[in-house]
Amino acid sequence: MSFRRRLLLLVTLVLFLAVGGVSAVVWSIVRRSFERAERERTAALVAQFQKEFERRGSEVAERVAGIATSESVNRMALEFSRAPDYSLYVNEAQPAAATHQLDFLEFVTADGTIISSAQWPARFGYKEAATAEAGRAPFLKREELPSGWALGVFSVQEVKVGDQPLFVVGGTRIDDEFLKTLVLPAGMRTKLVRMGPAHLEPISEPQQRAQVPPAQVKEAELLLRVLRERKPVTDVIEPSSDPAEGETVHAIPLTGADGDVLGVLFVANSRRAYVDLERHIGSAALVAAGLGILLAIVVSGWAAGRVTRPVEQVAEAAREVAAGHWDTQVAVTSHDDIGELAENFNRMTRELVGQRDRALQAERVAAWRELARRLAHELKNPLFPLQITIENLTRARQQSPEQFDEVFRESTTTLLAELSNLKEIIGRFSDFSKMPQPHFQPVDVNELVRRGLKIFEAQFRAAGHPQIEARMEADETLPRIAADPELLHRALSNLILNAMDAMPSGGMLTLRTRQDESNAILEVSDSGSGLTAEECERLFTPYYTSKQHGTGLGLAIVQSVVTDHKGRIAVESAPGKGTTFRIELPKSSEYRVGISE
């Protein structure tokens, strides 16, 4: 990864973390603020509920006291002390309750027997336990009605007129109508759940859960928690997938005089405002993060311009050097570490160029020496017979003039032959020096190989010559490649000649074509005596030969042709196991473009 990218990532990460951190802090503050406000609102509502409950309780106590002190009730109590006939008073509670605006009113004897009940007239004769609360403050009580259970604030007054006390138990409902008297802030709602003696069962069966909306299941669970813990609990209930429709629900237990949970007051605060604000914060954070990323790009670009451009220039210069442009220099724009790096790079390239020049010079000298050595060797052989022949001619002129003509004729023949030999040697050197540039055109390698084999077919079977069996293993799917057919034929001929020289006693010559992903491959194998590892290393050196009469130019020419085709040549050989030359020529489309050009 480049320094520029690393710097970009680093700056982006820092900005992202900064934005994320600020958002998280803002989020946290907002959430706490909302929670605090919500708690305060809930507490205010609960206080309002309690105040209203106490007010209702006071009203009930006054009304019940009014009934207890009324003449009719006192007369009733007096009658009970004499000869109680409860049947005469079974319907007394209803008109009294209506007169005093009470939802519940019962006249109860000392033993707790209901004489008359306004809320359920049929309950005469049943027991009422609330008489124990006589004279105490108004309290919450659960009342059974024909239609179910009701909650009410009750007061109990004792009428002591005769021998036996009479109790007046009265109350008013605590229900949804009661809740409507509460002043609710926007987004808040209340709900009262009355509890019967048998509490709700948890909704646990999967089928049952499936039939009940999730919000209702959650509410039921909240209710159970309140009943279990007997203290207020809070939870978030979301009726749908939209969090804005969710509510923070406070469930507050309402207990009776004996401490039993008789009802649960649900105070639900809408989370819409909080969720909306949360979304706004999220959107703002996203925008800030986006701007931060843009800023990071700009900052990192500017920083990279300042810091990484010289480094990139050095890196580009290094690539140039690697490509062969050893004289590449970079501009030194600063005096810091980067500037020192640039200066050192320039010094390095200067050294490289100097060393290359020196190496070239040494190589050139070595080549000349080798050429001189080869020339001396090649020329010495024909020159020695020339010298001997000329000395024979001189000696024959001086010692036996009568035989001079005969000697002269023979000597001139020898001289001409040796001169011809010299000419041939000079021609070979001339050919090597005049290797032409390839002219690319589509070439069928298989066809080229077949043609080469055909040319040499006669030599393979020539009489008096060791027999060579030639065969071809062609990959017929090999595509045409871009090549110079003449140069390629020349290289192939050299390899075939080389193989023939390597098999003086005859053998097997195999020409094989195949391909890999990017190259067409041509292999020429012989079954000769093979080469040593040292011979393999020096094989392509010009003028090197392992043969008695070779010039050492054949394989050099092959390598030159392959290199001009952007290809590669390799040799695999071992003593006694023959030799295989492998030529790889590119078949890439990029190179084929050169064909049309």
Partner 1 sequence: MRSRWLAVSSVLLCAALAARAETRPHYGGTLRVETQASIGTLPTPDAAGGSNALAGQIANLIYDPGRGDGKGPFRVAQFVPGKKLTLTANDEYPGGRPHLDAIEIQMARPVREQMLDLQLERADVVDLPPEMIRRATQQGVRLAQSQPVELIAIVFANDDPKLREALALSVDRAAIFNVLLGRQGEPTAALLPNWMTGYGFVFDAGQDIQRARQLRAESRRTQPLTLTYDPQDALARAIAERVALDARGAGLAITPTTSIASPDARLVRVLLPTHDPQAALAAVAAALGASAPKNDDVPEEWYAAERRLRDDLHVVPILHVPVAYGLGARVKGWAASKSGAWALDDVWLEQRP
Question: DSSP assignment, residue 365?
Answer: H
Please state the closest distance from residue 90 (CB atom) to partner 1, in A: 5
Under the binding rule (CB under 8 A), the answer on residue 78 touching partner 1 is no
Among 18, 88, 110, 297, binds partner 1 (CB under 8 A): 88
Under the binding rule (CB under 8 A), the answer on residue 120 touching partner 1 is yes
**Could you give phi then psi for residue 583, rounded to 5 degrees?**
-110, 125
Under the binding rule (CB under 8 A), the answer on residue 85 touching partner 1 is yes
Question: DSSP assignment, residue 505?
Answer: T
554: nearest Cα among 539, 535, 574:
539
Please work out the total of residues on this chain that contact partner 1, with binding judged by CB under 8 A: 13
Q: Site map for partner 1, 30-69, x if CB under 8 A? A: ----------------------------------------
- Looking only at residues 135 through 154 of this chain, which bind partner 1 when binding is defined by CB under 8 A? 146
104: nearest Cα among 134, 137, 149, 135:
149
Name the one residue in this structure whose structure tokens are 């207020």. Answer: 232
Please state the closest distance from residue 87 (CB atom) to partner 1, in A: 4
Per-residue burial over 409-433, b = 16 or more CB atoms within 10 Å of its CB, e = otherwise: eebeebbeebeebbeebeeebeebe
Using the contact rule CB under 8 A, the part of the chain among 23-31, 79-87, 162-170, 436-444 near partner 1 is 79-87
Distance CA 460, CA 471 (A): 11
Please state the closest distance from residue 41 (CB atom) to partner 1, in A: 42
Among 34, 80, 107, 124, binds partner 1 (CB under 8 A): 124
Using the contact rule CB under 8 A, the part of the chain among 121-129, 151-159, 227-235, 464-472 near partner 1 is 121-129
Under the binding rule (CB under 8 A), the answer on residue 107 touching partner 1 is no
Using the contact rule CB under 8 A, the part of the chain among 118-126, 173-181, 204-212, 499-507 near partner 1 is 118-126
Question: DSSP assignment, residue 203?
Answer: -
Is the Cβ of residue 120 or residue 408 nearer to partner 1 in the bound state? Answer: 120
Please state the closest distance from residue 213 (CB atom) to partner 1, in A: 25
Q: What is the DSSP string of 20-69?
A: HHHHHHHHHHHHHHHHHHHHHHHHHHHHHHHHHHHHHHHHHHHHHHHHHT
Please state the closest distance from residue 76 (CB atom) to partner 1, in A: 14
Distance CA 128, CA 115 (A): 10
249: nearest Cα among 263, 271, 231, 267:
267
Q: Quick check: 66 and 168 in contact, CB under 8 A?
A: no
Dihedral sign from CA coordinates of 198, 202, 208, 213: positive
**Residue-level length of the chain:** 597
Under the binding rule (CB under 8 A), the answer on residue 121 touching partner 1 is yes
Please state the closest distance from residue 23 (CB atom) to partner 1, in A: 58
Using the contact rule CB under 8 A, the part of the chain among 124-132, 399-407, 418-426, 514-522 near partner 1 is 124-132
Is the Cβ of residue 84 or residue 187 nearer to partner 1 in the bound state? Answer: 84
Please state the closest distance from residue 83 (CB atom) to partner 1, in A: 12
Q: Quick check: 569 and 556 in contact, CB under 8 A?
A: no
Under the binding rule (CB under 8 A), the answer on residue 98 touching partner 1 is no
> What's the helix, strand, coil split of the chain in %, to 5?
55, 20, 25
Please state the closest distance from residue 74 (CB atom) to partner 1, in A: 19
> Which strand ranges, in their side-by-side order, compose the sheet holding 519-526?
468-473, 507-515, 519-526, 579-586, 568-573
Is the Cβ of residue 58 or residue 94 nearer to partner 1 in the bound state? Answer: 94
495: nearest Cα among 455, 437, 465, 537:
455
Is the Cβ of residue 124 or residue 154 nearer to partner 1 in the bound state? Answer: 124
Under the binding rule (CB under 8 A), the answer on residue 408 touching partner 1 is no
- How many of the other CB atoms lie within 10 Å of CB of 251? 24
Is the Cβ of residue 55 or residue 127 nearer to partner 1 in the bound state? Answer: 127
- How many of the other CB atoms lie within 10 Å of CB of 497? 13
Among 56, 63, 100, 123, binds partner 1 (CB under 8 A): 123
Is the Cβ of residue 86 or residue 326 nearer to partner 1 in the bound state? Answer: 86
| H or E element, residue 328 | none
Please state the closest distance from residue 124 (CB atom) to partner 1, in A: 5
Using the contact rule CB under 8 A, the part of the chain among 83-91, 333-341, 376-384, 499-507 near partner 1 is 83-91
Is the Cβ of residue 125 or residue 185 nearer to partner 1 in the bound state? Answer: 125
- Looking only at residues 143 through 202 of this chain, which bind partner 1 when binding is defined by CB under 8 A? 146
Distance CA 512, CA 242 (A): 73
Is the Cβ of residue 126 or residue 591 nearer to partner 1 in the bound state? Answer: 126
Among 86, 178, 440, 581, binds partner 1 (CB under 8 A): 86
Q: Quick one: 90 exposed, middle or buried, by C-beta within 10 A (0-12, 13-18, 19+)?
A: middle
Among 22, 37, 90, 422, binds partner 1 (CB under 8 A): 90
Is the Cβ of residue 116 or residue 560 nearer to partner 1 in the bound state? Answer: 116
Tokens of 202: 């948890």
Please state the closest distance from residue 205 (CB atom) to partner 1, in A: 18
The 3-state DSSP class for residue 346 equals: helix
Among 125, 196, 305, 427, binds partner 1 (CB under 8 A): 125
Distance CA 179, CA 169 (A): 23
Under the binding rule (CB under 8 A), the answer on residue 126 touching partner 1 is yes
Is the Cβ of residue 124 or residue 178 nearer to partner 1 in the bound state? Answer: 124
Under the binding rule (CB under 8 A), the answer on residue 122 touching partner 1 is yes
Q: Which residues bind partner 1 (CB under 8 A)?
A: 85-88, 90, 120-126, 146
